[in-house]
Chain A
């Protein structure tokens, strides 16, 4: 046997799969042109005249696919158990089967599917396996959107979740926690941390007691804040001179953050709240101890953020990757991750199905609120694209093809809804992102591992 190596055997069997060129994934994105978004303020008005919004929602550990994928395709399909909670929105939904996230595959890096799947979810990149200094992933779709269109709103984007980054140890088989707890990436080296506290989010959006603050006092406060930011900006720019490459990168991060903060001060006049339409939402007290209240609060605030046009791009992680949370409130006593590896155990399959269904119930809460906000002749939901899914297909198999991906809303009648579409094997998920970006006037040559646009 020793003369005939395993490798040669594989070669002989014709299973040596050519690996995709990694460089292509790491290549910087290059916007070609953005003619349709030339207007200064309402660059992405849809057919209804309201701004187009997007949100990307993530659930961990894949899905129990048997109870996710409908039997039939086209517009005549029946929802399976997991998606029953969103039945009401079936006519506003597109269920996309067959999409693949190649970057989440091992590609020679061994274990760590959870960390990889969330790092690749919105980037389509193949994250570098490291738990240390040389973090490398790719830019995520929401940050491309934020870079191009974020100028129109006070917040270029919002990154939200329920669990902050883990504090200690590696998060998944040699992958840094930065991968498993962030899905938004400003560039290949910088994940964007999430806000998980509803109170803090509320304050960011609407200010602490800013309603009471009289005009003049507020003006002065902003003037002071601006002068502080100018001061520290000068500090940072002086400091940057003469520093090494890595130090410079850190200072760039700092400067970027200062400019974002500055934008909020300057852009405060952009805060448009049609007060009669916005429900008088109380300032949350903090992080609720119950998961359900926590998620609902965050989702409610997301609706408010869209409704007040504070931002047009939001991401939300139901939990961090590989979460082993249990959901006793719906009778799922086993941990999420543990039961996703069900090994055909019936009990575990029931458990995972309960969890998947539960998350869909929370999703329906979000969709209902979006759909209750009237905008023109449609609703806020109609003018948005809400993507819901996971970077793993079947949690038991840890596969990254045939992902569970559902779209809600039509981005202001940009495409038909109410369908179950199946795409050919190995169609990159990033092709969908190409399409979504295209619909808001951002044309890219490629994104992540995309090889075209998805027809939806």
Chain B
């Protein structure tokens, strides 16, 4: 059939479209160029190849042709041991990085949001093959590691501690500076304003002397706030100042410590010019404390230093235990002896450079956070041409990044340590446990956000002139609506069919108004999102949510093509081939007239475009009752909306609700399969290959048998071969 329909154009040196299908002598040779042939199959499926003006191909022949080619390219014998595939080593993307740091250290490292954008493949930003690591990112990892380890570990003094020294010339109030000192030449008070980090008893050391004159030595009064603390007689002179020590109780905050000179004396007639004037000079001050409390450390610090060097525990032993725990959690598997020894070298290096034990651990932590074992989800290599099960640690890591976009928690880590992750129904129990955890909301924002392309909402532009009442805040409300809607399905463990037939949604005040929903259930503010019933309204299901309607529209009008394409791509996993080169936008074809639907019908008369648009446009037109900003409408440009359409199968429908119903009945398998493939892609971090067909079949079966429940979809994916096993690549 290929020869009959394709080769006239697609063979030889100057093949049409540089797409040569000639020269294949056997099925095996075809399979060697599977990718090219998959493209051919896609186009034949959509009907734009072979071109209608070249070759007559009736529907039966086309169906037969598609089946033959599909069988050749994609048929896998599921009874034989199938290929679970291979996942290229995956770098943590920036969301995973930030989440992991939070779980590992307890520090929320916000600048991670400013890492270079993660490369996207197959619609997701966690694909191992695609995620790159340019030098600039490594630089950012280095900066991050330093900043995170400094936030986590307190070296020297803790932030609750004070050890501050100033020289006298930093005092304020009465008196004047004299070099680095402060001199009070007449009766008066000079003050030190100092920031006290926590309430407690502090030790004040103050170094002073007197410029003595008259018949008595200098008298000094120490004042804390307004309270007199102590009066002292200062006999010391400038040749040998004296340091006094006093404990004072201070509250947290800016405190004032005063020094009052009490007994001025001035006699310009005295014989010895050095004895004419009596002054007080303050040279240096130190405040240390609190001295009555154990040093306090932040939780991050205490968590890392769960054991401290002491009389009984040497620094080496303590460091070894601290780093073993830290590195094992960071690498998501037990750290080995040689890794720990090399980390200990760093602790030693710090000591050699006159830094503290804590500084040493800090340095080792930095190295851990830049190590490839932390930055990548490393899996042990599989021997070429053989298949193996992931070990428990690898499985736990895959699982937690799938559901939480973060590292395994202690419970999962402990189960792996005991080697029990695969025993009886431990895995299932953990999936259910993890889905109930709040961290599973990451699955909504990261998986659903990319599957449904919600992230595109941030780049949407809406024509301000045409939709002058549209507030940009509505865009984030729409995103939130779809996220909460999905999160609700996850939490109730509801059927995934609810994506298309739910009779509820979530709105805040503005969105409720925008949708024209009843005032009875309208939230009072925009901060409050409320689950509202949609029974009896025009809405219900994803395709009636603002988020989807807006990202598939142009700034000034709806785009039935984009909407149809969105449905094909994201609900049926049937992305249409790209448009022919040099196709013009509707706006650029000024010769077209009439309503949007009429214009598009004229556009479709171009045979190059007709076949794909015949599939896309009817789906999009069903959604025409919603305008470009997601409001309901009955007319467009004063013409009544015609929301009828027909599937290629001949099935007729009118309006978006009927379309969604049709997707759930006629196309149910395809819809489930689409969701399964998208989620499997996200879970594995690689694209779906032809050999995954058996696994996907099984997942679809499992979901159908289990009332389409969300958790069952996740479980089926986690229990699938591609998730559980790896195949070694052929060298």
Contact = CB atoms under 8 A, between A and B. Distances in A.
Do A and B come from the same complex? yes
Interface of A: 1-2, 5-8, 16, 18-19, 106-112, 131-135, 159, 164-170, 173-174, 176-178, 181, 186, 190-195, 197, 200, 203-204, 220, 223-225, 227-229, 231-232, 234-236, 239, 242-247, 250-251, 253-254, 256-258, 260-261, 264, 324, 326, 335, 338, 341, 343, 398
A243 B367 contact: no
A341 B455 contact: no
A190 B132 contact: yes
A115 to B, nearest CB: 11
Contact of B134 (A111, A131, A192, A264): A192
B135 A257 contact: yes
B372 A257 contact: no
Nearest to B111: A200
Contact of B129 (A110, A169, A246): A246
Contact of A177 (B120, B350, B456): B120
Contact of A343 (B376, B455, B584): B584
A398 B584 CA distance: 11
Interface in B359-382: 363, 366-367, 370-373, 375-376, 378, 381
Nearest to A195: B136
Contacts of B686: 133
Interface in B316-365: 339, 342-343, 345-346, 349-350, 353, 363
Contacts of B117: 164-167, 177, 181, 193
Interface string B82-101: 00001011010000000000
Interface stretch (B15-23, B221-229, B252-260): B15-23
A168 B453 contact: yes
B588 interface: yes
A20 to B, nearest CB: 10
Contact of B135 (A6, A260, A398): A260
Contacts of B349: 223-224, 227
Among A108, A234, A244, max chain B CB count under 10 A is at A244
B134 A110 contact: no
A247 B343 CA distance: 25
B118 A165 contact: yes
20 contacts: A2-B56, A111-B581, A111-B583, A133-B129, A159-B136, A164-B116, A165-B120, A166-B117, A167-B125, A168-B123, A176-B119, A178-B130, A192-B135, A193-B116, A203-B143, A235-B339, A235-B371, A244-B729, A246-B86, A335-B555
Contacts of B18: 19, 107-109
Nearest to B138: A257
Contact of B120 (A167, A232, A251, A326): A167
A7 B123 contact: no
B310 interface: no
Contacts of A200: 114, 140
A442 B731 CA distance: 36
A210 to B, nearest CB: 13
Nearest to A171: B120
B88 A7 contact: no
A104 to B, nearest CB: 12
Contacts of A236: 372
Q: Specify the main secondary structure of chain B where it touches its partner.
A: loop
Given A6-B51, A192-B134, A244-B381, 7 more contacts: A135-B130, A168-B124, A168-B453, A246-B86, A246-B128, A260-B138, A326-B461
Given A227-B346, A250-B376, A245 B366 contact: no
A19 B138 contact: no
B61 interface: no
B35 to A, nearest CB: 8
Nearest to B451: A168
B120 A112 contact: no
Which 6 residue pairs spanning A and B have beta carbons closest together? Answer: A165-B117, A108-B18, A133-B129, A343-B588, A257-B138, A193-B116
Given A108-B19, A167-B118, A245-B729, A341 B588 contact: yes
B697 interface: no
A234 to B, nearest CB: 7
B200 interface: no
B578 A110 contact: yes
A305 to B, nearest CB: 14
Nearest to B556: A338
B120 A168 contact: yes
Nearest to B89: A247
Nearest to B449: A168
A311 to B, nearest CB: 12
Contacts of A254: 133, 138, 372, 375-376
A110 B373 contact: no
A250 B88 CA distance: 8
B55 interface: yes
A325 to B, nearest CB: 9
Contacts of A227: 345-346, 349, 363, 367
Nearest to A158: B136
A335 B121 contact: no
A343 to B, nearest CB: 4
B587 A235 contact: no
B122 interface: yes
Contacts of B577: 110
Contacts of A195: 116, 136
Given A133-B88, A254-B372, A165 B119 contact: yes
B579 interface: yes
Contacts of A166: 117, 120, 459
A232 B687 CA distance: 30
Contacts of B343: 231
Among B14, B145, B583, max chain A CB count under 10 A is at B14
B456 A169 contact: yes
B130 A132 contact: yes
B353 A220 contact: yes
A352 to B, nearest CB: 14
A180 to B, nearest CB: 11
A218 B450 CA distance: 44
Given A6-B53, A239-B378, A176 B116 contact: no
Interface string B571-588: 000000111111111011
Contacts of A231: 342-343, 346, 367, 371
Contact of B86 (A6, A165, A244, A257): A244
B8 A106 contact: no
Nearest to B362: A224
B9 A7 contact: yes
A112 B578 CA distance: 9
A119 to B, nearest CB: 13
A193 B54 contact: no
A5 B9 contact: yes
A167 B119 CA distance: 7
Among A107, A242, A246, A247, max chain B CB count under 10 A is at A247
B680 to A, nearest CB: 15
Contacts of B731: 245
Contacts of A242: 381
A176 B367 CA distance: 33
B138 A261 contact: yes
Contact of B137 (A134, A193, A225, A326): A193
A6 B119 contact: no
Contact of B367 (A1, A7, A228, A326): A228
Given A228-B366, A235-B373, A253-B133, A223 B119 contact: no
Contacts of A261: 135, 138-139, 142
Contacts of A135: 130
A197 B132 CA distance: 19
A5 B372 contact: no
B47 interface: no
